[in-house]
Structures are given as C-alpha cells and as structure tokens.
Structure 1
Amino acid sequence: MDFELSDEQRLIRSEIQDLCDQFGDEYWREKDMQHEFGWEFYEEFADGGWCGVTIPEEYGGQGYGVQEASIIQQEIARSGAAMAGTSITSHHVFSAAPLVEYGSDDHKERYLPEIADGSVMVCTGVTEPNAGTDTSQIETFAERDGDEYVVNGQKIWTSKAQEADVIMLLVRTQPRESNDRFGGLTLFFTEFNKDMDSVDVSEIPKAGRGAADSNEVWFDDFRVPAADRIGEEGKGFKYLLSFANSERISIAANAVGTGQAALETAASYAREREVFDNSIGTYQAIQHPLADSWTKLTQAELMIRKAAWLYDNDKNSGPEANAVKLRASEDAIEACERAVRVHGGMGYAKEYDVERYWREVMINVLAPISNEMVKNYIAQHVLDLPRSY
C-alpha cells in the first residue's frame, strides 16, 4: 500500500478544511454550552455533497470508501468541532452501510438518494439498557402482523434521535436461544421521528458533545413496514457486524483529529504564555509531553490509513481496526489531558476549548465497544488465547 494520499484525497481534505474554517471553536463552544444541535454546520456539510460520501453514485452519492470517510472525519474533529462535529455527520457515512450492502433495490431507492443529499437525517438504534457490549441480550421485540412488524421496547444512546427522519433499528424477531445467541435479531431501516405517537424520545444529559444529542427511545406498538427490513429475518446481527470494522476506523479518526486539535491549541498557547520571563514553550516539561503525544497520534494516523486500505480492498481489517481504535482513543485522551495541563488553570476554562476536547474524546474508549473488549478480541483472534468472557 501507498501511504501517500492521492490527489483526490488531498482535495477532499482541503475542501473539508475550507468548510470547517467557517465554524471555528467559538461556534462549537457556544453550541456545546447551549446544548444546541449544529444545524448550520450540518447544512453546509450536506450542501457540499458530503452526506453521500460512501453511498454509491447511482443513488446520488460519491461512492468513496472508508479511507476517504476517515479523512473527512479526522479533519472535522481536528478543526475544533471534535466529537460533536463528527457525531452530527458520521451516521450518514456508516449507518446507511447495511442498507447499501444488503437492502433491496426498492428499499435503497426509497432512502439512499435523500440520505445522500442530506434532506434525511439518520440515527441508529442498537444499544439497550441491558444490552450494551453483549448485543445478544437485546429485548426490543418486533412481532409480524401481516405486511408490518409491531415493535415494542427501549433503546438507549441513540444519537440524533431528536432530529432523525429514519432509523437503522436492530430488534428481536425470535426469542433468544442459548445455542444461537445472535439468531433472531433482525435489522430494519425505516421512517422515524420523535413526533410519532408510538415513539417517545428523551435526551440523556452527558459530559460532552452538547451539540449532538444522545437519547433514550421507547417504542410502543411502533409499526414498521415489512418492506423496510434489511435482508432476511433473523440475520440482522450478521449484517451489522460486517460493518463493525469501518466504525472502529471512524472512531479512531475522530479521536486522532480531536487529539490533534488539542495539541495544536496547546502548542499555540505555549508559544505565547510567559512565565518566569520566558514563554512556557521553552521549558522541556511543556515540550516533551506535547512532542510525545504528537508521535503517538501520528503513529495512530498511519495505522488508520492501513486499516482503511485493508477494509476498502476487502481484506481482513479486524486486528488493525480494533488495534487502532484502542490506541487512538487512549492516546487522544492523553493528548487532551496534556493540553489542559499546559494551559494551567485556564485549561479548566471554557474559553480555550481544551476542556471541551478532553470531555468529548472520553467517549472513544467506551464506544462503540469498550477498549477492554478490544483487548479481548486481540487476545483471542490474533494471539490465539482462550476466550476470557
């Protein structure tokens, strides 16, 4: 593989940087403090055609791969938008992937063009209060009723449910069986909004990403057309799992971008802030932690490129995708904490934004899967050690 970005990839990065330059730290700081969705940013992103980055051209998208999508996500985060900015945009890249791969022609025609042009907002309903890491414990149930399914249950951590028009929804259509824990899980891609009588949406107050809501969602006799089922009944987890590595790569790109934003802010402050008649950037106690974090984030960025290349070329990317999610998330938290320390007491103040980066980047060690489970995966599937859970 060639680590050099192509001319087209460099152009993508440049255009995203130009777009993000319209929305600086002040914009995201205000959105975070007011807990307001970043609609202005989203609309510019959609107008630029970026919502359809991985959607096939025949459905109005650009037909790019995870490599290009990860470049976009990294640059959004690096601009100061951090995890809020990437959360607003990433579901258009990845939540539609199972529909693209496994949906019927009619199903794709009904939804993909509007997702690609940004007129439709997507959310994802998978996690439940009793089914986080262990997806097999999902209890939300869909019962067949003629040409429809009737859904009852609860989802949690459903990002953008306040704004969404459609949802990718994983439910049970058969009871859980001990010999096939993931059988009976079915995936839907269907119309959804918080104003439906059969849906109740409640926002979850959280530490970061104030500009991108996370929610609990309750379904009470929520009717879904059978035509909105993705693929076969009972194979939803298989469909969802096939895109897990792309999500891990995306999370790594988000983390690296946020860590880079923190480092750049800290280095700028260190050049200007004077203590004991010198800029603090002259002191090795300031220089060395920032330099160390730069090396770690740069290594993670290179591994993102490799993992994305493997994924886009239909090669096994599992070890690399999981490893870079682990390393990028941990190294980004360290970079953000170091940026706060460089600012001293002002690092705790909102006006310098490093505290916002620090709060937002924490989510990457927890989701979409914890780093402890990533280590379990590597131990079992790479090192051939016994399953430990």
Structure 2
Amino acid sequence: MSDMPQEIHVDLGNDYAEIRDQVSKLCENFPGEYWRDLEKQPVEGSYPTEFINALTEAGYLAALIPEEYGGAGLPLRGGAVILETINAMGGVASAGHAQMYTMGTILRHGTPEQKQKYLPGIASGELRLQAFGVTEPTSGSDTTQIKTRAERSNDGYVINGQKVWTSRALHSDLMLLIARTTPLDQVEKRHHGISTFLIDLREAKQNGCTINPIEAMINHNTCEVFFDNVLVPADALIGEEGKGFRYILDGMNAERCLTASEGIGNGRYFLRRASEYAREREVFGRPIGKNQGIQFPLAQAHAELEAADLMVRKATAMFEAGLPCGAEANMARLLSAEAAWKAAEACFTTFGGFAFASEYDIERKWRDARLGRIAPISPNLILSFIAQHVLGLPKSY
C-alpha cells in the first residue's frame, strides 16, 4: 500500500458571487451587438478597447497583482471567475486575459526593481501587457526549437527572429518574449539556453520591430512579429539567462487554469441560450424543448461542463496551495474545451438555421469555442503529457 499515490485534499475556495454579479453588470454594457460590430471593422480596428478600458478601470485586469503594487491581490480562482463570467455573458475574455498570467512571470521571477517599475503601471492601466511572444512559424508547439535569438551586446541584447499568432501585439505596450541566448547545439538539454525578456514594444517598434495583423476566422487580434536587430536593455531580461523555459512553464499552469475557465464560461453561455430558445421555439404545435433529441444533448453537455468545472476549481486550488498541478491544469484545459464544444454543438443544433444568423451571436461564440480545442495548447500535447507523467507510459514526443 505504501507505493500507492497519496490523495491530495484541497479546499476548492471562494466562488466570488459578488464579483460574478459585478462583472455581469459591466458586461451588460457590451452586448452582442458591440462584439458583432467589432468583427465588421478592419483587423487593425477590431480590438475591444472600450471593453478593456472598462475592465481596467474597474480593477479586474489587476485582480491577480498584489495590493502593494496597486492590484486586488486575489488568488487565481478570483481571476478565473472574472474570465468565466465575461464569456458566460457573451463577451470575449481573451481580449484581456494575457495580462493576468504574463504578469506572474514578473511577479515570481523579476527583480524588486522590475516589479516596482512595471507592476503598478500594469495595475493602473498605464501600461498594457497583453502580448506573449512564444510561437514561431517553424517550431509550433515545440517551444524548445525556437529560432529567435537574443545575443549579448555592450548595451544589452540584440534580438532577431519572428513570432506568429502573437495576439494583441498591436494593442500592447509590453511583450513577454522568449528567445534563445545559447544556440541549441551548445546546450546539454534542449530546453536550456532559452531566456525570458520583457520588451517595451513602444521603443522596439522604432528600433527594428515590425508587427503585422493576421486576418483570421475569429477576432482575436492576432499578429506576426518580426525582430530585426532590435536592441533591448540588459534589464529587459527576467530572471537568470538561459532559464526562461522553466519560467514560462511555471506560468503555463496559471494560463491553463485561466483559459479553462473561459471554456466553462462559453459552455454556460451556450446552455443558457439553448435552453431559453428551446422553451420558446414551437414547431409542430409544441416547444422543441419537449423533444428528447433536443433535451438529451443539452443535458449531456451540462453534466460534462459541471464535471470540467470541478477540475478547473481543483487545478486553481492546487496552484494557489503551491502544489504540483501540471496534470490537473492540463486536464482542466482539455476537459473544459471539450465540454464547451459539446455545449456549442448542442446549442447550434437547437437553434437550427438561425444559428447561422450573426444577429443571434451563436455562430460567433461557436467559433470561439472551436478555437479552445486548438489553442493555447494542442489537446494531443495534453494527452501525451498525461500518458507520460501520470500513467508512466513511454514518452511519445
């Protein structure tokens, strides 16, 4: 019996009913029409600036920043509730979510001077930290193969390379960037030699950095970013040189939990809209909600969503308790995305042909739910992680 894994018991924590209510009221000022109108704009002008400003002024994007730096000092669960509620109300929480998990790298690994320099400005909204430069065209999910280089110079570091699918880069003052400071062929392990930088994009754009928006199926304001001999000061380095991959992984568990909560919010949106419509819509002299062909998929989606929500809550509680939670955070991300997609499909079927009409907002949110099964992490990577690190199976890749 001594070889059996020990059970971990954690308090699932506060569910923040008051914050849910307040965020819901804020979101009522940004109905479906607001989000639809943004999608009609050119990609450069499609960012929900007014919504992000309202969240910032209310202090919600500073929820996880400690009080000593001007934030609310809430635990991760508080941030998750905010993002979940935004999506449950029909909004798009991803427009502001990166600030919640990117600032954690500064908080956990930055110097006191870096924390004081950046965190108060991020908390107040004076500085926007919404860009996370990780993915590259040739490396994809294999972050250890990134080719962007940061080479030492007398004045700091010179950066060359390219990032892609870097959302919100055109609407961010700062970017958390990872780059190789030691070539891959000169390190013992492939995740060594990667460093983390906090780049001031306002200066970089005048110094060799080019940002181009990407037209995409969904309005996530994503971009490709080019670095051509961009000089950044030495104090742009976060933590120790060459250990940035570990810092990023540290923050990934928070990212998994927060984006998983968005999936829960999407699922709740779909089930609420579908249930309302199924009660009201009459065909053949009866509401379609009486038909088991409508009822059962919605009920199944609800059950799976509630189960996924419990995993999200467990993962966030373990994160806050300082416990290893890589498996739980990844499972939360996987299960929430699948449950949200199940709810999206059931909702789409319930609305029938009207689901295709933009004015109902179902197709817009349906696209958002589909993205959750691709980004920010491939479900296959999650499954391989679980297989290797939980089940003890051989490493697949």
Normalized against structure 1, the TM-score is what? 0.95
2:21 is the alignment partner of 1:14: yes
2:61 maps to 1:51: yes
The residue that corresponds to 2:74 in the other structure is: 64
- Give the Cα–Cα distance (whole angstroms) in 2 for the partners of residues 353 and 365 of structure 1: 20
- Structure 1 residue 32: deviation in Å? 2.4
Gaps of 5+ in 2: 1-9
Q: Contact (CA 8 Å) 1:51, 1:117: kept in 2 or not?
A: no
Deviation at 1:197, TM superposition (A): 4.2
- 2:151 is aligned, of 134, 138, 143, to 143
SS at match of 1:95: helix
Distance, in Å, in 1 between the alignment partners of 2:301 and 2:13 is 22
Distance 2:37 2:128 in 1: 23
Greater shift, 115-124 or 134-143, is seen at 115-124
Deviations 1:10-67 (A, max 9, x none): 2222211121121111211222233511011111100001121111111111111211
Q: CA deviation at 1:302?
A: 1.5
Per the alignment, residue 250 of structure 2 pairs with 242
| Matched ranges for 1:31-42 at <5 A | 31-34=38-41, 35=43, 36-42=46-52
Q: 2:95 aligns with which of 81, 88, 92?
A: 88
1:181 and 2:190 matched: yes
Whole-angstrom distance in 1 between the partners of 2:257 and 2:134: 19
1:65-121 deviation line (CA, Å, top 9, x unaligned): 21111111100111101xxx2112111101111111110111111111111112211
**Aligned to 1:96, what secondary structure does the other structure show?**
helix
Pick aligned residue for 1:129 from 129, 137, 140: 137
> Is 1:108 the counterpart of 2:118 in the alignment?
no
Instruction: Name the counterpart of 2:286.
Output: 278
Choose which of 306, 309, 313 in structure 1 pairs with 2:314: 306
Q: For residue 30 of structure 1, what is the amino acid of its counterpart?
A: D
Aligned counterpart, 1:370: 378
User: In structure 2, do the counterparts of structure 1 residues 204 and 338 end up closer, same or farther at CA, with 3 Å as the change threshold?
Assistant: same
Alpha carbons of 1:282 and 1:4: their partners in 2 closer, same or farther (altered >3 Å)?
A: farther
CA-CA distance at 1:175 after TM superposition: 0.3
Alpha-carbon separation, structure 2, partners of 1:348 and 1:283: 22
Alignment of 1:227 with 2:271, yes or no, is no
SS of the residue aligned with 2:136? coil
Q: Tell me the CA shift for residue 321 of structure 1.
A: 0.9
2:36 — aligned with what? 29
> What letter corresponds to residue 211 of structure 2 in structure 1?
V
**Separation in 1, partners of 2:191, 2:171:** 30
Please tell me the root mean square deviation across aligned C-alpha atoms, in Å.
1.4
2:270 to 232, 243, 262: 262
CA distance in 2, matches of 1:290, 1:215: 36
Q: TM-score, normalised by structure 2?
A: 0.93
Q: Distance in 2 between matches of 1:225 and 1:46?
A: 28
Q: 1:236 to 1:3 in 2, by over 3 A?
A: closer
What percentage of residue pairs aligned between the two structures are identical?
39
Q: Which amino acid aligns with 1:107?
A: Q
Amino acid at match of 1:133: S
Moved over 2 A (4+): 1-6, 32-35, 193-197
User: Does 1:350 pair with 2:358?
Assistant: yes
Secondary structure class of the residue paired with 1:80: coil
Deviates more, 1:306-315 or 1:277-286: 277-286
Query: In 2, Cα distance between the equivalents of 1:370 and 1:175?
Result: 26
- Rounded to whole Å, the distance in 2 between the matches of 1:73 and 1:362 is 17
- The more displaced of 50-59 and 187-196 is 187-196
Q: Number of paired residues?
A: 382
Question: Using the alignment, how far apart are the partners of 1:201 and 1:72 within structure 2?
Answer: 29
Whether 1:218 and 2:226 are equivalent positions in the alignment is: yes
CA distance in 1, matches of 2:103, 2:140: 21
